[in-house]
Structure 1
């Protein structure tokens, strides 16, 4: 019976939801979405290129920033195809197995981004509290291991709940709440015992987001304690300014994440527009704002982009 259920579920079709009540304006609505995704993808690609090509940026802080840009690209590219298929009235359908793959990619990269932000907080802690040991502690090998561990941790923990979906029967409506697949959205359509998935999902959120957030808070407690020992006001401001971009990145990831989780768990019967609005903020805001924030607040990144965009002859005159 389990095998039958699995094969039946894998061949089933689900349907995305666009913007309810605004179907006739979908083509116009797609324009700002297209611009936002274009800004996010282009901005992160530019940061990756600048870090790769500028030897001055081959330091731990910028390696972690490159990881952040990679996870942002993963988060933004995973839902973009299905979003525009819906908005451009190409198709609202998606097969179950493709939906699970998209779900896996979205959740894995969102959890990985949280881990990368924790690593960046530890980077700031070492840079401010133990500057003489910065290069010896955060070696390139350690940074690579941290990145791989962050990705594997997120990916492995997502396998059990998604694998169980293959054995669920979906006898309710097959209409999803968004234009892409989310685990919490899929399990509400199942007419099966989803207690494991609900509890497991909550535990994973606590273990990943919760522990990462706690680690970031502890890191900044030590950073603040160390900064307060600096005698000059200029020195304190300079030290804190190196953390400003990271603090903004933490806020623009965690606030939409928490908002979307609250909406799915405690506002199930609220307007569909709220669910759709929060879901798109959750996936679009970090990839769009992170490169902008780091380009504005980080002098070295700003200079690297400046040199990249200028014509070589003008660049030689400026330098």
Structure 2
């Protein structure tokens, strides 16, 4: 028997075997497709990373170096921008960072227990009532903040809380931030077995004790997720502090950056120093809660 033929059992004659088909070029297409996705991912990553890179390198360069080539690394690096930003006579960094930190901490500490308690209360209500309430809360996420800014300011003026940090914190608690917390906690609470709550009730625990001692520890990943997102949003918020506080009554770090921009000329070296110091605290907070944040995202995706 020769290659390319098969001997028949009855006739003992060689039967020709059809030639093998050429393999399709799927592997090459997959290779090019994988390379295209890799290039697209690299370009998107570069688009997100480039502002961070420019902020870091220009924070340690002189004004002449920034104007000459903003993308070049500092050669040699200088700390003059940081010292000049910290030594400003108007204390933009010290006042802005303090006011932003206090606003973020107080707002988040109020939103987290209110959102968790309200979500726990909703889980014990009938499904139709729960869907109706969540539909109202969804409006806080869908309506742009600029649309409700003027009514918010008028309410704060009626309460004599306009141009105050208390009014800014109240606007944060009553805005879309609370809606986000309610949606996150509601999703996590649906994944917790109801037998845990029923067993605690049989043992004599009240609803307040069940919520605080049993549910809140189980909601730790969700709490970290809510805390990180809300802290970043409130920290980076510009519109509410600008219009609720007013430029003459107080400032946060974002409004301080706006004030540091000159009307006719801008000291970019000092501006990048202010931006670098403004980004230190959010990055440090994210790194501190990174483990819980990732656990919250993965838990919410798998349950």
**TM-score interval, normalised by the smaller of the two chains:** 0.3 to 0.5
Decide which structure has the larger Cα Rg and report it.
2
**TM-score under structure 2 length normalisation:** 0.32
**TM-score under structure 1 length normalisation:** 0.31
